[in-house]
Chains A and B, each alone.
Chain A
Amino acid sequence: MESAAWVKTTRWVIKPLVFVACLLPALRLAAGAFGVAGVSLGADPVAALLHGCGRWTLNFLMITLCVTPLRDLTHSVFWLRFRRMFGLYAFFYVVLHFSVYLFIDQNGKWNVLWQDIAKRPYITIGVLAMLMLVPLAATSTARAMRRLGQRWTRLHRLIYAIAILGVWHFWWQVKSDIRQPLLYAAGLTLLLGYRVWKRRHAIRRALGARGLAGAAGVGGATDARGQRETLRKA
């Protein structure tokens, strides 16, 4: 159990600090874009902005996916307080990324966007992943969570597909050096693999706890499903 003082500190001190920290990459890019404080984005500021925002979208997707494993490892719900913020930051950075692409790189030519979506698979999946984040961001409020109940959990599992599409989008556009996208893919495999493992482990344990009844057939299977539902709620 967390003490009331700790909850307060988290809410009024740690959370605002984390909020500002998450904003720093955007501030740095903005400073570079406007030449503030001697920050420069180099010879190709458009590419630097575009790739910077894209990279931080992926980073925040990864960070968001780290929350559950961290909770399990540390047996602490502390991390859960930041999950919504991380997810919303992923959305924030992807909107910036998309805006830089459309309004700066492509000079706001929507017809180029439609052509790119139709012709270039990496853009197709990139836009798809961004659109999939929209309902998640829209239902991030406590009220939406209550209203949707079990459906909220199911809906927010979209994050797995979004992260896969995001890394794929990155991988598909590098010229020959795949080391960076490979790193993200490896991280994502680990984070998603952990969830698969946990689930299997839980089912096996549930079956084991019921002894032979689990193997006996229908009853056991139903129990396992029930157990799974309980876990989902966790």
Chain B
Amino acid sequence: MTRQKLPSPRILPSQITPQERYLSRRSLLAAGLGAGLAQSFGAFSRASAAGAAGAALAYTHDAKFSTSDKPNSYEDVTTYNNYYEFGTGKADPAAESQHLRTSPWNVAIGGDAEVTGSFTLEDILKPLALEERIYRLRCVEAWSMVIPWVGFPLGDLLKRFKPTSKAKYVEFKTLYDLKQMPGERTSVLDWPYVEGLRMDEAMHPLAFLAVGLYGKTLPNQNGAPLRLVVPWKYGFKGIKAIVSIKFVERPPRTTWAISAPQEYGFYANVNPAVDHPRWSQASERAIGGGLFAPRRATQPFNGYADQVASLYTGMDLRRFF
């Protein structure tokens, strides 16, 4: 089998918005927020119409929920990815995802909610103001990054669909397309990728849906056009290229928990006290520190314990790992 290789629109580090420019964009926004936002949505639809990643977004910086840690370089964030739909190597997603069509993009809303149906990404984004959140990301493989996402709180979107009292969990699904996602032709995981959150987790202000990264639309390898970011959980909870959101009564059967139930649980909260059966979760390698940077101690809930630990009061976190 040969797959045709088209010239791929790789983003060079030199093409990234310089720090000063995106900072000036922010101050511009502060000056004329309304106008800026209107402009940004125009920019966003134009970008998705062209199918190009990396169009500039307008957003406000959310200092309250952002870490003051220094973000990883754009290059690290966009070349070191776990996205098995495009291959299991860390460099595979950047190489193999460039022809994923992210426009038009529809998300099916279903299950126990008053408002259901298929929505275009533009419909979803229209009433939302984008914000930047600099979050820590801790991978279950014991490495970590700091990433400046652009997006909106997941709860703000979910509320619009008016979930009923039966909605106890939210289930997300990734696109299943054997042509565009070559990794789905292999049996390394059960496709399509499924993730889920308990309703209160999903409504927590830290739970985030990202459409951008470093002030621009998401590159495909980072989950374009819409991905979940749950900073207090291991990275695999952050499902990418979401095409379905469903409100359900029972905990969804999530992909990694299906693949290895003794190793990956539904909750997957970052927890240095509960090791992966095959490796320790007590410490992590911070990506970007170079060869001789010391490992860092992993924090409970990835350092977000103050905000989220109360969600799990009374739960045995060894059992519900």
List 4 additional contacts besides A120-B280, A177-B186; criterion CB under 8 Å.
A43-B76, A45-B291, A46-B291, A176-B259
Q: Tell me if A79 is interfacial: C-beta within 8 Å of chain B.
A: no
Task: Assess the A43–B290 pair: CB atoms within 8 A.
Answer: no
CB neighbours of B287 from chain A (8 A): 43-44
User: Distance (Å) between the CB of B142 and the closest chain A CB?
Assistant: 10
Task: Assess the A116–B280 pair: CB atoms within 8 A.
Answer: yes
Q: Tell me if A107 is interfacial: C-beta within 8 Å of chain B.
A: yes
Contact residues, A60-107 vs B (CB, 8 A): 104-107
Judged by DSSP, the binding face of A is: helix
A-B contacts, 19 listed (Cβ < 8 Å) = A42-B91, A43-B80, A43-B288, A45-B291, A46-B285, A47-B143, A49-B291, A104-B292, A105-B285, A107-B295, A112-B280, A115-B280, A173-B278, A175-B141, A176-B260, A177-B84, A177-B88, A177-B188, A179-B186
User: Distance (Å) between the CB of B257 and the closest chain A CB?
Assistant: 12
Q: Per-residue 0/1 for B102-113: is the Cβ within 8 Å of any A Cβ (1 yes, 0 no)?
A: 000000000000
CB neighbours of A116 from chain B (8 A): 280
Task: Assess the A104–B291 pair: CB atoms within 8 A.
Answer: yes
Q: Per-residue 0/1 for B279-300: is the Cβ within 8 Å of any A Cβ (1 yes, 0 no)?
A: 1100001011011101100000
Contact residues, B263-277 vs A (CB, 8 A): 275
Q: Tell me if B26 is interfacial: C-beta within 8 Å of chain A.
A: no
User: How far is A122 from B143 in the complex, measured between Cα atoms in Å?
Assistant: 19
Contact residues, A172-189 vs B (CB, 8 A): 172-173, 175-177, 179
CB neighbours of A176 from chain B (8 A): 84, 88, 188-189, 259-260
CB neighbours of B259 from chain A (8 A): 176
Please pick, from A43, A47, A120, A179, the residue contacting B278 in the complex, using a CB distance under 8 A: A120
Tally A-B pairs: CB < 8 A: 60
Q: Tell me if B40 is interfacial: C-beta within 8 Å of chain A.
A: no
Please pick, from B80, B292, B294, the residue contacting A42 in the complex, using a CB distance under 8 A: B80
A45, A175, A179 — which one has the most chain B CB atoms within 10 A of its CB? A175
CB neighbours of B80 from chain A (8 A): 42-44
CB neighbours of A49 from chain B (8 A): 291
CB neighbours of A119 from chain B (8 A): 275, 280
CB neighbours of A117 from chain B (8 A): none
A44, A104, A107, A172 — which one has the most chain B CB atoms within 10 A of its CB? A44
User: How far is A105 from B90 in the complex, measured between Cα atoms in Å?
Assistant: 18
Q: Nearest 5 pairs between A and B by C-beta?
A: A43-B80, A177-B88, A43-B76, A177-B188, A176-B188
Q: Tell me if B114 is interfacial: C-beta within 8 Å of chain A.
A: no
CB neighbours of A175 from chain B (8 A): 88, 141, 260
A45, A46, A106, A176 — which one has the most chain B CB atoms within 10 A of its CB? A176
